Amino acid sequence: MAHGYAARKDEHLKRLRRAEGQVRGIARMVEEDAYCIDVLTQVAAVTKALQATALNLLEEHISHCVAEAAAKGGPDADEKVAEATAAVGRLLKL
């Protein structure tokens, strides 16, 4: 079965590779003794980029997997909703 995010997979991969490059850039900054505040600014930026990607994946997950399970109803529907909510809780660090 194709997952909810299959349609926009290339877009997600592109953003994740950019985030990977950003983290590598942060390591290079530390390597080259960049000013601490500038390093923190980059950490804030990549964190935001990663969470934005997560939010997009979540949207597709809800509109496909959760919605499908919800349409069928039953315990699987509840489970899918609980699982998605728990994932949001982890992103919010609750």
Q: Give residue for tokens 């953003």.
A: 15
Q: How many C-alpha atoms does 38 have within 13 Å on its Cβ side?
A: 10
Per CB under 8 A, 91 contacts a second copy? yes
Interhelix angle 9-31/36-61, nearest 10 degrees = 160
Are 49 and 94 in contact, with CB atoms under 8 Å apart? no
Q: Where are the alpha helices (DSSP H) in the chain?
A: 9-31, 36-61, 67-72, 75-91
Token duo for residue 92: 């919010």
From the CB of 65, what's the least distance to a second copy, in Å? 7
Per CB under 8 A, 7 contacts a second copy? no
From the CB of 75, what's the least distance to a second copy, in Å? 12
- Scan residues 37-56 and list those touching a second copy (CB under 8 A): 37, 39-41, 43-44, 46-48, 50-55
Which residues form the interface with a second copy (CB under 8 A)?
A: 2-6, 9, 12-13, 16-17, 19-20, 23-24, 26-27, 30-31, 33-37, 39-41, 43-44, 46-48, 50-55, 57-63, 65-68, 70-71, 73, 77-78, 81-85, 87-94
